[in-house]
Each structure stands twice: as C-alpha cells, then as structure tokens.
C-alpha cells in the first residue's frame, strides 16, 4: 500500500526559500576584513542569491558543474552558496589555509570552473591560477561581486532536480597523501540540518542570534549555514578577524546567544576576557568541535560566565555533526560537578545514525566505557565513498565507515574519542589517550597549548612525552607539569618527559598538527629510562 504524503524533493533551496518567506526580516550581520559591519536580511539575501544563479548561468554554469569559493564567513559568501546550489551546481569550498600545492590538486581534481573568493585571497589565487587550467574566471566577493550580479534578475527557477543531486564538495585536509573529496547530496545535507536542530543537538530556534565562527569552508560550517536560516535565527558572520577582542565585540554588540568554534578560538576569547575583565551578557551556550574541549575551558565558561559548553563530534565524511554531549535524563539530574565527566565526552548519537567499535580485525568490541576500539559509523549523512572513487571501498560488510578515531562507548551511549588511530600511543600493549592527557595539562595556569606524542622506548615500545607552549611571560618546570597531572590520570599514562617549545603547530582546520610535531621531534630520545607505575 502506498503512503498518501506529498512527494516533495528534499533540496536545499527550500531552506532559504523558507527563511525568506517566513523569516524574511531577520538579520544577517557581516563584518569585513576592515572591520566594517554590513546588515542584510534573509529576504534580501534570497533575492541576491537568485541574481547569483542567473549570473552563473550566464557564465555557462550548469547542473553538476563545480563552482569553488575561497573565503571567510560573510554575507556575499552566503549568497554565493545558495545561488550555486539552487541551480544544481556543486558548491566546492576551498580552505585558504591549506598548502598551495594541496589547493592546486583539489581545484584540478574537482575541475572547478569558477572561483568566488575574498579579496584577501588574491595573492594566493594569483599563485594558483597558472596551474589550474579548468578555472575560467575568478570573481572577488566585494564590489566586483556586486557588479557581476547587478545586471541579473532576482527571479530564478530553483530546484527541479532530484534530492540526490550533488550539492557540495569538501575535501579532507590531507594529513596523509592527497586530500580526498566528500560529495554531499541535497538530501543528505537536508536530513543533517533536520537532525541537528533537535533539542538534544544544536537546539537552534528563531529566538537565537548565532555567531557563526566555524569557517564556511570547514564541512558546511558544521551545518549551521543551513540550520540557522531553517529556523530563522539571526546570523552573525565574523569575517576574517578571529582574535578574542573581535569575537567578544560581536558577541556583545549583536546580542549573540549561541556560537560554535574549535577550542583555540574560545581559548583566545577567554584570555581576552580575563585580561580586560570582560563579560558575556547574552551568550548562553557554545558548541565546541574539531578537537576535544579541555576541562578547564568547560569550567571557566560555566563558573565565570554562566555559559554552557556542549561538545560535538563529527568529520568531513559525516556532514559533519554526528554526536553531541548533551545530558540524558539521568545525567541531567546530577550536579554540574557530577556532569563534568560526561561533558568531557563527545556525546550521544544523533537520530538516524549508528555507531560501533571494532578491533583491528573488524570484530565488534563491547560498549563498556573502558574498551578502546576503532570507531565505525553509518547512516544517511555518512559518506559511502570518496569523490571519483579515490580511496576505493571505504565501508565494511555491514555498511559502516571507519572514522579513523579510537574511542570508547559507555553502556549509556556516551562516546569518547581517545585518539586518532594514527596518533594512538601503545605502551606495553596498552593504549594511552594522548587527547585526555593534553586536555588535563592545558588546565595548568602557565600553559597556552599542549600536545602529547609517543616516542620510542626500549622496553615499552612507546612512551608519551608532553610538549608545552607557555603563555607569554609565564615560566614553569618539568616537575610543575608532572605534579599537576599527578592524581588526574593513571600513573602509567604520566609523560616520561616535558618539553617546552616556542610553537605547537596547528593544521588548516585549527587542530594540533601531530604529523608535523613528530617530524620536528625526529631524533629525540628520552633523557633517561622510566619505569611507569602500572
């Protein structure tokens, strides 16, 4: 028997159509590289996005063609986004922080025909273009963009294609080998938007003012580029300036209630607030992803500013959000102090997805909160393969995707990342969570950044060492950090050495670049053999 529901394709143009019709006067606030603030609305952005569509078609762009963007979060980027996907073209977001040779590879692999870019990216674009033969034109997201769309009508027929039509293309950061493309469909991104809007996820509403700090070039800005207009939330786009003072200014002047970013952004904000005795008068909650949130950050937000921190986990291949550390009914009854161990986990699964743990042979492992295993995931928002079949078959026989993370899952469904598989430290046959040690060490008042890697040991195969970048003007010793860690981690997890460094490198998405750290530490040898307590 057939159902009697209307068969309407789940295409993403419907999201901005809805925002324009039912939340048309809601503001989109945008700051440019010079600090100037512009204001538009969903209704105005909708009309300009249709002008973008007409301009693209005048350039010969058709369904399935790749249009690249290279820029920070601004209203023109937002309009270019919806103008591209509305006609069935593929929006390919380029990360300007990647190495130039990686960007050249990505542009050529995607066969991008146009690039819409921030003017600040022009030196990089000029360097890349001679090596990118498929690119026919570059339009900069300033007055040149306005002039490009100005002759075109704000009326354009969107949609008219199937919901499984490709919508977006985002490449992994390529820490090993060439970056691989993840091709999102309209249906998968639409479903992801609906999944993340539930109360036990991002919980956005028309009453929120959202500061979208996470870059639009980073996995669909964690889906907020869709979820904010879907509910009519006021959207604040901060542009290129991500320092603590600039973020704080927008939070206060625009009455922001919700924001999302990687931990390093929030560390800069909290440092600024402490130095200036600043306050957060409207901010209620933040989502932290990209890497695990340190306990010290969660506590400072809660204790000093009354802001709730919710961790989210995902990756380019998961659209990206997949788990969120919101409390279930039993955890919600606990005091904040008792909830902290759960807040330090990456959380519980969104509806529609499934998780499992597996050993290196692919056999299932228990969800007991103690057993480490490879984290596997499946669902309608999870990649089934990479663009142009790069990487071959990526699913196991049950259809699960190997995330490359090593994790635990407790009996109540709370998942916790313990390491990337390539970063895991195996000492005496047992795994040590470098992430957990880092997130405790960063709580030391002298620490600005911390990283833990494994180094060779004659007896235990590997032992952890802690690298520390101190805050300006701070001093500390090896013993200071070891004493700080004592009692907070298993004794045999204690680093065998503490190395003070001038810099801890971050990758293109703000995560600690352990591959580069290991390269820098080649030739390092432990100063003395240590027998870890077991």
Asked if 181 and 110 count as a contact pair (C-beta separation under 8 A), the reply is yes
Q: Closest Cα to residue 136, out of 179, 159, 107, 163?
A: 107
Predicted model pTM: 0.87
Q: What local confidence, expressed as pLDDT, does residue 174 receive?
A: 54
8 A C-beta contact, residue 310 and residue 344 = no
Q: Rounded distance, CA 402 to CA 417, Å?
A: 13
Q: Specify the DSSP class assigned to residue 55.
A: H
**Domains plus CATH for the chain?**
423-520 (3.30.300.30)
pLDDT averages per 10-residue partition of the chain, 534 residues: 93 98 98 94 98 98 98 97 98 92 95 97 96 98 98 97 98 76 98 96 97 94 97 97 96 98 91 96 95 90 98 95 97 97 96 95 95 96 96 94 94 91 79 87 94 88 93 94 93 93 86 88 76 53
What Rg do the C-alpha atoms of the chain give, in angstroms?
23
Strand ranges across the sheet with 181-185: 137-140, 114-117, 66-70, 90-93, 166-171, 181-185
What 241-249 contacts at long range (C-beta under 8 Å, 24+ apart), as own/partner pairs, is 241/31, 241/33, 241/35, 242/213, 242/268, 243/268, 243/272, 244/268, 244/269, 244/270, 244/271, 244/272, 244/273, 245/272, 245/276, 246/31, 246/35, 247/211, 247/213, 247/272, 248/272, 248/273, 248/278, 248/280
Q: How buried is residue 178: exposed, middle or buried, by Cβ count under 10 Å (0-12/13-18/19+)?
A: middle
Which pLDDT score is estimated for 529?
A: 53
Nearest partner of 295 among 335, 364, 341, 326, judged by Cα: 341
Helical residues (DSSP H) of 318-433, grouped into ranges: 329-332, 336-343
Residue among 14, 145, 24 nearest 86 (CA):
14
66/139 Cα distance (integer angstroms): 15
Q: At what angle do helices 244-253 and 263-276 cross, to 10 degrees?
A: 80
Q: Which of 114, 121, 122 is nearest to 68 (CA)?
A: 114
Catalytic residue annotation = 172, 317, 426, 431
What SS3 class is residue 384?
A: coil
């Amino acid at each position: 028997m057939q159902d009697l529901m209307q068969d309407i394709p789940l295409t993403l143009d419907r999201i901005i159509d809805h925002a324009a019709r039912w939340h048309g006067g809601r503001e989109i606030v945008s700051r440019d590289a010079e600090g100037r603030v512009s204001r538009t609305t969903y209704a105005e952005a909708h009309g300009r996005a249709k002008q973008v569509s007409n301009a693209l078609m005048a350039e010969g762009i058709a369904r399935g063609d790749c249009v690249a963007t290279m820029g920070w979060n601004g209203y023109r980027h937002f309009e270019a986004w919806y103008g591209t996907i509305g006609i069935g073209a593929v929006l390919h977001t380029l990360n300007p922080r990647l190495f130039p040779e990686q960007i050249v590879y990505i542009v050529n692999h995607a066969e991008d025909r146009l690039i819409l870019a921030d003017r600040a990216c022009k030196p990089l674009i000029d360097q890349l273009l001679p090596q990118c033969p498929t690119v026919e034109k570059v339009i900069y997201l300033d007055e040149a963009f306005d002039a490009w769309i100005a002759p075109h009508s704000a009326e354009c027929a969107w949609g008219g294609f199937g919901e499984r039509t490709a919508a977006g293309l985002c490449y992994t950061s390529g820490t090993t080998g060439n970056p691989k493309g993840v091709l999102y469909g309209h249906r998968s991104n639409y479903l992801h938007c609906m999944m993340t809007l539930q109360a036990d996820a991002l919980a956005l509403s028309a009453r929120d003012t959202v500061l979208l700090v996470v870059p639009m070039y980073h996995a669909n800005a964690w889906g907020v580029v869709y979820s904010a207009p879907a509910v009519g939330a006021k959207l604040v786009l901060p542009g290129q300036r991500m320092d603590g003072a600039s973020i704080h200014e927008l939070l206060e002047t625009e009455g922001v209630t919700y924001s999302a970013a990687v931990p390093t952004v929030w560390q800069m904000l909290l440092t600024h607030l402490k130095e200036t005795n600043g306050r957060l008068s409207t901010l209620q909650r933040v989502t932290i992803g990209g890497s695990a949130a340190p306990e010290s950050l969660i506590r400072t937000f809660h204790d000093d500013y009354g802001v709730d921190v919710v961790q989210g986990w995902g990756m380019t291949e998961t659209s990206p959000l997949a788990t969120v550390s919101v409390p279930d009914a039993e955890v919600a009854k606990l005091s904040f102090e008792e909830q902290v161990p759960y807040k330090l986990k990456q959380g519980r699964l969104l509806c529609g997805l499934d998780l499992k743990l597996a050993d290196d042979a692919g056999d299932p492992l228990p969800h007991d909160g103690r057993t480490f295993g490879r984290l596997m995931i499946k669902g309608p928002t999870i990649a089934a393969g990479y663009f142009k079949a790069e990487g071959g078959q990526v699913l196991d026989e049950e259809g699960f995707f190997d995330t490359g993370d090593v994790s635990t899952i407790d009996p109540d469904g709370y998942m916790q990342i313990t390491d990337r598989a390539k970063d895991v430290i195996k000492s005496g046959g047992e795994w040590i969570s470098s992430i957990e040690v880092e997130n405790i060490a960063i709580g030391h008042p002298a620490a600005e950044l911390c990283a833990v890697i494994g180094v060779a040991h004659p007896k235990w195969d590997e032992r952890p060492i802690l690298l520390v970048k101190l805050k300006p003007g701070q001093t500390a010793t090896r013993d200071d950090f070891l004493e700080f860690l004592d009692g907070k981690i298993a004794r045999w997890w204690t680093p065998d050495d503490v190395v003070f460094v001038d810099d801890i490198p971050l990758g293109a998405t703000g995560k600690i670049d352990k591959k580069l750290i290991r390269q820098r530490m080649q030739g390092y040898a432990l100063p003395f053999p240590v027998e870890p307590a077991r």
